[in-house]
Amino acid sequence: MKFHEVANLFPLLEGKPFNELVEDVKKNGLLEPIWTHDNQVVDGRNRFRACKVAGVEPRFRPWNGKGSLVSFVISLNLKRRHLTPSQASTVGVEALPFREKEARERIKMRTGGLTKEKIPESVKKGQARDFVAKDLGINPRYISDAKWLQDNNPEAFESVKSGKVKLGVAVKKVKKEKDIERRKALPKKEFKNLVCGDAVEELKKLEPLTVDCVVTDPPYGIDFKSVRGAETNDFEQDGKAFALDLLSKTLPELYRVMKEGSHLYVFCSWHNVGAFKKLVEDSGFDVRNCLVWVKNNHTPTNYLLNYAHKHEFVLFASKGRRFLNRELTTDVLEFDNVMGKTHAAEKPVKLLKYLIENSTNKGEVVLDCFAGSGSSLVAAQGLNRSWIGIEKDSGFVDICKERIGGLVDG
């Protein structure tokens, strides 16, 4: 007896599970009959095969033809198979063509066969999916997601079907891979552009939608004083009012020049992290995390009154949606601080590379509008990213040029 195509919605037993079924049939006989329709097996392929191996005469029971054959077969299998919602979604995808075929047959019967083969889109894409989802007891969106996965990565679809991977995890992974491939395929212009000037004014000169990632370290607004023993401070101004006003003017320009689907990293201190976060959000960005950079040293303070500061914050935000390149990244970043700094607020290149590498691909554009001594530019250069640096202090611009080997366009 042949197997009906609807029976193939569920996998055959193989190996140990099938052998156990054979032994059970030998011992107890066939306890549940094999369901048929039009002289074909619609449910019970494993029992039919086990009977042949065990030498037991199979018993058959015909389907009564009422309702949907697909629904009938699904209901029988859901009672004895322990499918996860993810696995059920793959069954739903493979059941869709049969449900649509049934819909065509129903339309033919209602019209006496005087109809075209093509059924309405509402029946094909909406109603069939919803019917199958109801049969399986899952959200219709699961079937839509599984269908997308089957179309875009059949291998991942099979992994979900076998129960190795959850549907949501597989879909996110494949979407991320496709997004990275799409970005890598985009045409890229390699350039290195270091500008001496005011951050806001120089940002206004940039074309919109040109930057893939911003990593920047603006004044913290904490009246910072250098402890390096230098005669002068590296900050012209670092009061709270000045810092917040500067950032409020800078962020809208950053949003304008950044591409849709890009990342923003803004270093800040615990003193004003709330105010910084509000300004970032008010400029249109979605703040996704507050990262904690844990240093290997602490900032000098009055140890009798205060805990020694050993961390700084990094606001991580996005314009639109973009996947991180790493599979998993925690919000605690442990990197040694810079010894022998050329700028009081200099950040370690390894930390900056870690952020840039997680948010960009080779050839994409990284921007730092408060470049300081150029650590972010050195990091971008080392990762084969294009970069734009803006720094108002000409002395630090010269240091930037020295650190990146003078490789500057314009």
Element (H, E) at 295: strand 286-299
What is the sign, positive or negative, of the torsion defined by CA atoms of 10, 14, 20, 22?
Answer: positive
In whole angstroms, what is the distance from residue 160 CA to residue 89 CA?
9
- CB distance 276 to 315 below 8 Å: yes
Q: In this predicted structure, what is the pLDDT of residue 1?
A: 83
In whole angstroms, what is the distance from residue 221 CA to residue 270 CA?
11
Q: In this predicted structure, what is the pLDDT of residue 112?
A: 60
pLDDT, one tens digit for every residue, the chain (410 residues): 899 999 999 888 889 999 999 999 999 999 999 999 999 999 999 999 999 999 999 999 999 988 889 999 999 988 778 889 999 999 999 999 988 888 777 676 666 655 554 444 444 445 788 989 999 999 999 999 999 999 999 999 999 998 899 999 999 999 999 998 888 888 777 778 999 999 999 999 999 999 999 999 999 887 655 444 444 445 556 688 999 999 999 999 999 999 999 999 999 999 999 999 999 999 999 999 999 999 988 877 778 888 888 999 999 999 999 999 998 899 999 999 888 788 878 899 999 999 999 999 999 999 999 999 899 999 999 999 999 999 999 999 999 998 887 555 54
41 SS3 class: strand
Q: Which residues, including other chains, have CB under 8 Å from residue 304's CB and lie 6 or more apart?
A: none
Q: Which residues, including other chains, have CB under 8 Å from residue 14's CB and lie 6 or more apart?
A: none
Q: In this predicted structure, what is the pLDDT of residue 109?
A: 65
192-403: CATH architecture: 3-Layer(aba) Sandwich (3.40)
Q: In this predicted structure, what is the pLDDT of residue 119?
A: 44
Integer angstrom CA distances of residue 370 from 188, 216, 223, 261: 24, 6, 17, 22
In degrees and rounded to multiples of 5, residue 365 shows phi and psi of -100, 125
Structural domain spans, the chain: 2-183, 192-403
